[in-house]
Amino acid sequence: MDFAREFMAKLDGKVSEEDMRIILRELEVFSGNYDIQKKETEIVEYQEPELPECYKVYLISKKIEGLSKETLKTYDLYLRDFLLTVNKPVSEITANDIRIYLYEYQRIHGVTNRTMDGKRLVINTFLQWCCDEGYIARNPCKQIHPIKYESKMREPLTGVEMELVRDACRTYRERAIIEVFYSTGCRVSELVRLNRSDVDFQKGEVHLFGKGNKHRISYINARAEVALKKYLFSRQDNDPALIVSDRKPHGRIKKTGIEKIVRDIGERSEIGRRVYPHLIRHTTATDALEHGMELQEVQAILGHEKMDTTLIYAKICQDNVKYNHKRYIV
């Protein structure tokens, strides 16, 4: 048992995340000089399923490590359902328990293999953490093979479709949102966090605060610069947020608000398919590669840690491959 991390679970919501990181670091050093054992208590038979203590400790650990709120919500949802359904101490969970849970979940809910593999991955990550932290002797999920599914290639917007989306914008704010998404390749959560001060028009740079609480720099092209300046000049508020709500007091717009705006623009464009922020991000990556940008540079703009992730988002144009094949393989 990890005394320091279990103690941090008790502080969740009582102090800031930064303070929690500092306290955890100091507590781990201090407690290293002591042999701390958990006090034995009488075994109580619970009438209703209860979540194990290590479950909350795990989520707190991931929160301290900087996982996004959206990812933490997904972990919480998946693990809570799994642990309450299996209803066993973590140390007694078997590979067969996991197989039965996954089989029954898919049978009852009718979800895709892709969703099921996502659940398997979350369970495996949690149980591996439990193993590394000494809560269990081994990870039973290692015996569960990845669930195969067909990965459909996401089709980016064509040049014509992108222009139709632009033409469907009715306000300065709508056009600014679309152009910033396309120029920077940012995630919707990153756009929500942006402040006016994060945009340097002189250098053409945007300072993004992204996934995993990591900072990176992306860039604004001429279209994004013009759209942003028109939008900012039209505003009557003093809120530091780059994009704000239309209604007074014009506070920072939420993620769902931006998603709805982009969805509405897409419907007005009448291009015949759903438009959402991540599709524009995918279009940015694909266009960059097709116009000759190096894969490592696209990776940097998108903020991906692994090159494989960039390849998933960005489809390399087969016409370019065919053309270069004729040039180089003779």
Catalytic residue among 25, 278, 282, 326, which? 278
pLDDT of residue 308: 76
| DSSP for 63-95, written as a single string | HHTT--HHHHHHHHHHHHHHHHHH-S-GGG--H
What DSSP character marks residue 240? S
Residues 181 and 234 in one domain: yes
For residue 198, give both structure tokens: 């994060």
- The pLDDT tens digits of the residues spanning 47-87 come to 456 788 899 899 998 888 877 777 888 899 999 999 999 99
- Of 143, 170, 198, the residue that ends a domain is 143
Q: Is residue 154 part of a domain?
A: no
pLDDT of residue 218: 93
On whether the CB atoms of residues 220 and 204 are closer than 8 A, the answer is yes
Q: What angle do CA 37, 42, 48 make, to 5 degrees?
A: 110
User: Known catalytic residue: 252?
Assistant: no
pLDDT of residue 71: 82
- Of 143, 173, 200, the residue that ends a domain is 143
What DSSP character marks residue 293? -
Q: Report helix, strand or coil for 252.
A: strand
Residues 72 and 187 in one domain: no
On whether the CB atoms of residues 218 and 182 are closer than 8 A, the answer is no
What DSSP character marks residue 248? T
Return d(Cα 38, Cα 270) in angstroms, integer.
63
Residues 137 and 217 in one domain: no
Strands 215-219 and 199-200: unpaired
Return d(Cα 16, Cα 128) in angstroms, integer.
27
User: Known catalytic residue: 313?
Assistant: yes
On whether the CB atoms of residues 122 and 59 are closer than 8 A, the answer is no
On whether the CB atoms of residues 162 and 269 are closer than 8 A, the answer is no
Catalytic residue among 304, 306, 325, 327, which? 304
User: Known catalytic residue: 282?
Assistant: no
User: Known catalytic residue: 187?
Assistant: yes
pLDDT of residue 221: 94
Residue 128 sits in a domain of what CATH number?
1.10.150
pLDDT of residue 200: 95
* Residue 223 phi, psi (nearest 5): -60, -45
pLDDT of residue 294: 85
Residues 199 and 134 in one domain: no
User: Known catalytic residue: 327?
Assistant: no
Residues 272 and 300 in one domain: yes
- Structural domain harbouring 277: 159-328
Catalytic residue among 281, 282, 291, 306, which? 281
Write out residues in the chain with pLDDT < 50, as ranges.
1, 43-44, 46-47
Give the chain's end-to-end CA distance (angstroms, integer): 64
Return d(Cα 56, Cα 6) in angstroms, integer.
8
pLDDT of residue 328: 67
Catalytic residue among 62, 187, 231, 282, which? 187
Catalytic residue among 211, 229, 231, 247, which? 211
Residues 177 and 201 in one domain: yes
Residues 171 and 66 in one domain: no
Residues 223 and 249 in one domain: yes
Sheet holding 215-219, edge to edge: 199-200, 205-209, 215-219
